[in-house]
Structure 1
Amino acid sequence: GQARRFYEEERGDWGYKPEFFKLPDDTMLRGCFFSYRYFAHIDDVIRAEFTLKAPLSAPSQAVADEIAAGGETVSLHVRRGDTVTDPEYRSWYDGILTDAYYRNAVDHFRTRLRDPQFFVFSDDIDWVKSHLKLPGRLRFVDHNGPDKGYEDLVLMSRCKHNVTAGFSSFSWWGAYLNDNPSKIVVRTRRMNALDRLNHPDDFFPPEWVIVES
């Protein structure tokens, strides 16, 4: 049979490529294609595809109810995982996801919103509780393990505002799927050590607010 066409994104080069839309039909894709510019024109379709088919678990629904009943709720995501355990990834993120970044992010909201409450999410929530000392009202969301991470994503998107974790696709989607029209989303200035390839302006929507690390 006829060989399928194949298009692979270069590792580390995650900027927007306009030629993507010129690829022939039935091309097999491999990569992140991690720019909102690829799908901004079908935003409603993307949001529909990210809707859970099953209800939230009881513990997650309880948190969702807290968020809905709260005032100025802010999700705050701390990515650990491979940025700690993998030497290559660790070198990419050195000096970006710092304690200072999260303090500055919290301060950004506390100076602009009335008594914001921060819902904290992480793949290493125990470490965050022990090591990340932040001011303000914090609610650590710690009931979902790796098999229920998608529920954390939903909960992040239900908050009114969001603090993202650099190049974390997880917190990126949590913020992107937030449908609050007046949301404030905070991001790092740099994505990671590969910014010369990554083109942060392709990755982060222009209205997201830069907070220094």
Structure 2
Amino acid sequence: MIIVRLQGGLGNQLFQYAAGKALAHRLNKPFKLETITSLQKDKKRSIALQGLQGDFALASPKEVKEFLTFPSLYRHNTAFFSRFGRNIYKEPHFHFDKNFSCLKDPVFLDGFWQSPFYFQDIESTIRKDFTVKPELVSKVLEKGKELEQRSSVAVHVRRGDFTNKAATSYHGILSAFYYEKAIGLIKEKDPSACIYFFSDDIEWVKQNLAVDKNVQFISSFENSAIEDFYLMTKCRHNIVANSSFSWWPAWLNTNSDKIVVAPKKWFVDTTINTNDLIPPEWRRL
């Protein structure tokens, strides 16, 4: 049995699922998701994967107890359990962990696993699992067709929760300069590009970015998270924020001629190695 601990929002949960699924595939073992020590105790988060096509089976309390004798205590003392628990593997650092491929069954995975290297062997399966259920995006299907037919660029500007003091000190906030330079780079290669801003702060975008008339604004307050996610996957090109939520639509984008721009600085702490997060064909600014 492979169990992966779910934590964070949709983008984080996608990475966790993909890594766990890949390991289970390699070992030919059952795979389940654990929420007892994390999401069930987090009032701000929930299971965000249920709008996708994959089989997101949840581990039962009994199955979790095979690894964690006292699951309710794990959230408060992960270091103790990682050292003395049974078959618990905690992610040692942000970049790709080469020891991951050596793990054996059974194992409880606790980490973020933010690198495509973890699931590169089952890429087609992950793309299929992360297809959005059409009934959840019926309201925006026509907009999706429009994005597919145009030389559209999804520009994700995430501010909202990133503007509070704690988040800013860790993640940082991307500058207007980054977005303007990224848009310029894509327009240089694709002059017909049409810009679509996806943001939780449209007013900031309008006031701070030098945009022309050929733009549209898509507010995250008008759509659900899964609708925005779906629409960003339908764009021809992507400009991503330092956010796993915008990383995934760019990766899932199947256009062979796509241009993806991502920030060089993903975190405020530049000692965190993010080289394994960004695919080599993406441009970093």
Shared fold (TM-score greater than 0.5)?
A: yes
The two structures have a TM-score, normalised by structure 1, of 0.86
Q: 1:158 aligns with which of 231, 234, 247?
A: 234
Are 2:147 and 1:67 equivalent residues in the alignment?
A: yes
Once residues 37 and 195 of structure 1 are traced to their aligned partners in structure 2, the CA distance between those partners, rounded to angstroms, is 21
Offset at residue 145 of structure 1 (A):
4.7
The two structures have a TM-score, normalised by structure 2, of 0.65
Once residues 26 and 136 of structure 1 are traced to their aligned partners in structure 2, the CA distance between those partners, rounded to angstroms, is 56
Offset at residue 176 of structure 1 (A):
0.3
- Aligned Cα RMSD in Å? 2.1
Once residues 164 and 52 of structure 1 are traced to their aligned partners in structure 2, the CA distance between those partners, rounded to angstroms, is 19
1:47–1:174 distance in 2 versus 1, CA, 3 Å: same
Counterpart of 2:106 in 1: which secondary structure? coil
Are 2:161 and 1:76 equivalent residues in the alignment?
A: no
The answer to whether the 8 Å contact 1:36/1:203 transfers is yes
The letter for the 2-side match of 1:125 is I
1:122-181 CA distance string (max 9 Å, x none):
2333433344333462111126557x2111111111111100012x00110010000111
1:9-65 CA distance string (max 9 Å, x none):
25xx31100111212212111221000111111110110110122335444112112
Unaligned runs of 5+ in 1: none
Larger Rg: 2
The answer to whether the 8 Å contact 2:201/2:219 transfers is no
The answer to whether the 8 Å contact 1:93/1:193 transfers is yes
Q: 1:191 aligns with which of 266, 276, 280?
A: 266
Ranges of 4+ aligned residues in structure 1 off by more than 6 Å: none
Once residues 103 and 39 of structure 1 are traced to their aligned partners in structure 2, the CA distance between those partners, rounded to angstroms, is 32
The answer to whether the 8 Å contact 1:187/1:209 transfers is yes
1:6–1:110 distance in 2 versus 1, CA, 3 Å: same
Unaligned runs of 5+ in 2: 1-64, 68-85
1:73-103 CA distance string (max 9 Å, x none):
1100011133201x23212344x61000001
Identity of aligned residues (%): 34
Q: 2:200 aligns with which of 108, 123, 134?
A: 123
Once residues 179 and 91 of structure 1 are traced to their aligned partners in structure 2, the CA distance between those partners, rounded to angstroms, is 34
The answer to whether the 8 Å contact 2:182/2:239 transfers is yes
**Residue 25 of structure 2 corresponds to which residue in structure 1?**
none
Aligned pairs for 1:1-213 within 5 A = 3=67, 4-10=86-92, 13-70=93-150, 72-85=151-164, 87-94=165-172, 97-135=174-212, 137-142=214-219, 145=222, 148-166=224-242, 168-197=243-272, 199-211=273-285
Once residues 53 and 63 of structure 1 are traced to their aligned partners in structure 2, the CA distance between those partners, rounded to angstroms, is 16
Q: How many residues align?
A: 203
Counterpart of 1:33 in 2: which secondary structure? coil
